[in-house]
Structure 1
Amino acid sequence: MNLLMVGVGAGFGALLRYGLTQLGKTLWPTRPWMTLLINVTGACLAGWVSALALPESLHLLVATGLLGGYTTFSTFHVDALGLINRKLWPQVLGYYVGTVGLGVLAASLGIWLGR
């Protein structure tokens, strides 16, 4: 049952990420801002979910599955390399600092909201 919960959640998370990524390509065709938004909102939600007293099956569905499929560490680095290859140094710095800094703040906010 645990594998099913993780798999179902991951499928929905990946579909959500795909849809938002497509929207991001329309809104910001040359910038990875949607990946940043996905990772920051995912960090906030992960913090929130971790602070809740959820049954194990629901935690696996949401935290491990849904948010695991939704957030994207590998895409973050591919997007960063795209900025680096175009020598967009201020955007590279902003993207890294924004992703890490906002991710920590968002996770903290999520934990605070969950308490």
Structure 2
Amino acid sequence: MTVLLWVGVAVAGGAGSVLRLLVDEAVRARRPGGDLPLGILVVNVSGALVLGLLAGLALDHDASLLLGTALVGAYTTFSTWMLDTVNAWSRRLVAVAVANVVVSLALGVAAAAVGRAVGAAV
């Protein structure tokens, strides 16, 4: 791995993190006060779609590392999704916690499958 690739991973990871913040905040601003964390749902589902697309494109190792692992990996967030779920559960919003898991998984898997199919067709 070259120094340039390391720098690319750091820059792409930083960009993905900032993009996650911007998308999450934009969604929250349009739907304030809801119990279901829609911002993180949008982030994770859109990230699954893009990651599926990249997988379908069968990029070389360096491009996969930069775009898939660094950019999309930093954009999506398992930890925030789980924390949002635990927070809903601890506030006794059991239906919201369960819906957050079920809806996120169903839409995420579907988005990844669609992205992969589109990428493979290109």
Give runs of ≥4 in structure 1 deviating > 4 Å: none
> CA-atom RMSD, angstroms?
1.4
**Number of aligned positions between the proteins:** 115
Structure-1-length-normalised TM-score: 0.90
Stretches of structure 1 lacking an aligned partner (at least 5 in a row)? none
The normalised TM-score by structure 2 is 0.86
Please show how residues 20-59 of structure 1 align to structure 2 within 5 Å. 20-26=23-29, 27-31=31-35, 32-59=37-64
Q: Which whole-Å CA distance do the structure 1 matches of 2:28 and 2:119 have between them?
A: 32
CA contact (8 A) 1:50 1:111 kept: yes
Q: Is this contact kept in 1: 2:24–2:42, CA < 8 A?
A: no
Match of 1:7?
A: 10
TM-superposition CA deviations, 1:31-77 (whole Å, max 9, x none): 31110111111111101101113233322221011101100000001
Percent of residue pairs bearing the same amino acid type: 33
Contact 1:40–1:102 (Cα < 8 Å) also in 2 = yes
Q: Distance in 2 between matches of 1:38 and 1:91?
A: 18
